[in-house]
Amino acid sequence: MRNFSCPNCGQQLSFENSLCLSCSSSLGFDLPGRRLVVIPALAPVGDGKPEQGHLCANMHIAQCNWLVEQEGDLCASCRLTQTRPADDDAEALPLFAEAETAKRRLILELTELGLPIVSKNDDPDNGLIFELLSSERRQVLTGHANGVITLDLEEGDDVHREQLRVSMGEPYRTLLGHFRHEVGHYYYSLLIIQPEQRQAFVDLFGDPDADYQQALDRHYQQGAPEGWHECYVSAYATMHAAEDWAETFAHYLHIRDTLDTAAAYGFASPDAAFGHSAETPDFDRLIALWLPVSWALNQLNRSMGHADLYPFVLPAPVLEKMRFIHQTIADANKKGTGLPVP
């Protein structure tokens, strides 16, 4: 995440700000420019007249500060949500806003990585769509199926999420983590398309066509195999090759975004940041930067009496899987398969 500031007065701001805390300027986030801008005037275009900017129609209901061209439109992130709570659902709407806030961070990172983001409304076969629903009144299972990512909004409730994290023996559980995991499933179908890619996947992760239900039943009956820490980033990753890919993909996004933020604030080398050069950063360089940063973050958390911020170990087999993901994304960008945000 970049270091944002008010273009009017220079006040340091957060990605989520819609109002400058110093000069009270109204602000909006411009995705193509990756910047906060003062509304209504944007940078001059064409004949020099200021372009008019409007905030997303979900500004109030989802706390969305992203810009749109026409008043009343939804932004590039909000348009990807197909199903959400009703306007009169007072219990679910705050959780919906939390989920959309996390999703905007996801969409920005995917954009920075050059990954294709196309709505299912525009591409029914290969597109992406989100269904954000609360299990308070119905059964909702967080997951991915054919480009549809479903998220149980109750995951936005701190007590509910923490109870699940503890009961499932997980060291980490967040809304953003869920999104990164589920979108990993989606990108498998887009990125692993060539025979040589599939064979490399099988060599690293296992058979993606192995019976999923059997693997699921086995995992919840027997748990992770002994010594799983030596080859997997999490216990859940041991369940099936598809879950190993999604878990590793999510951790790759964790690392890239956190390093980008660390670079923006001077805690890591600038070459860890997105867009530092036209070339994809070297994977070994990224990991060399990540290890001291994650160690320092864990120590800072301990200084505040919290658990480690990144409570994971990255053994050599996990790094090789992550390297494969890194290279697959880089190859897709070189071939021009990345598509613009709709």
Rounded Cα distance between 277 and 266, Å, is 18
DSSP secondary structure letters along 183-248: HHHHHHHHH--SHHHHHHHHHHH--TTS-HHHHHHHHHHH-SPTTGGGT-SSSGGGS-HHHHHHHH
Closest listed residue to residue 8, CA positions, set 35, 48, 34 = 35
Question: 197: buried, middle or exposed (CB in 10 Å: 19+, 13-18, 0-12)?
Answer: middle
Rounded Cα distance between 7 and 119, Å, is 31
Residue 179 contacts residue 102 (beta carbons within 8 Å): yes
Rounded Cα distance between 244 and 205, Å, is 6
Q: So what's the pLDDT on residue 332?
A: 87
pLDDT band at 270 (very low <50, low <70, confident <90, very high): confident
DSSP secondary structure letters along 125-155: TT-BEEEEE-TTSS----EEETTEEEEEGGG
Characterize the bridge pairing of strands 129-133 and 148-152: parallel
pLDDT digits (tens, 9 = 90+) for 181-236: 999 999 999 999 899 999 999 999 999 999 999 999 999 999 999 999 999 999 99
Closest listed residue to residue 45, CA positions, set 55, 57, 30, 56 = 30
pLDDT averaged over every residue in the chain: 90
Residues 6+ apart with CB under 8 A from 256: 109, 113, 274, 286
Residue 58 has pLDDT above 70, yes or no: yes
Q: Which amino acid is at 192?
A: I
Residue given tokens 């990991």 in the structure block: 287
C-alpha distances in Å from residue 38, one per residue of 18, 29, 41, 65, 78: 9, 9, 6, 11, 21
Residue 339 has pLDDT above 60, yes or no: no
Residue given tokens 């969409």 in the structure block: 107
DSSP secondary structure letters along 252-290: HHHHHHHHHHHHHTTSS-GGGSTTSSSSPPPHHHHHHHH
pLDDT digits (tens, 9 = 90+) for 272-291: 888 655 567 899 999 999 99
Residue 118 has a CB neighbour count (10 Å cut-off) of: 18
pLDDT band at 45 (very low <50, low <70, confident <90, very high): very low
Q: So what's the pLDDT on residue 338?
A: 43
The dihedral over CA atoms of 303, 305, 310, 314, expressed in degrees to the nearest 10, equals 80
Closest listed residue to residue 108, CA positions, set 35, 54, 181 = 35
Q: So what's the pLDDT on residue 168?
A: 85
Rounded Cα distance between 167 and 302, Å, is 23
Residue 282 contacts residue 323 (beta carbons within 8 Å): no
- Pair of tokens at residue 232: 């997997």
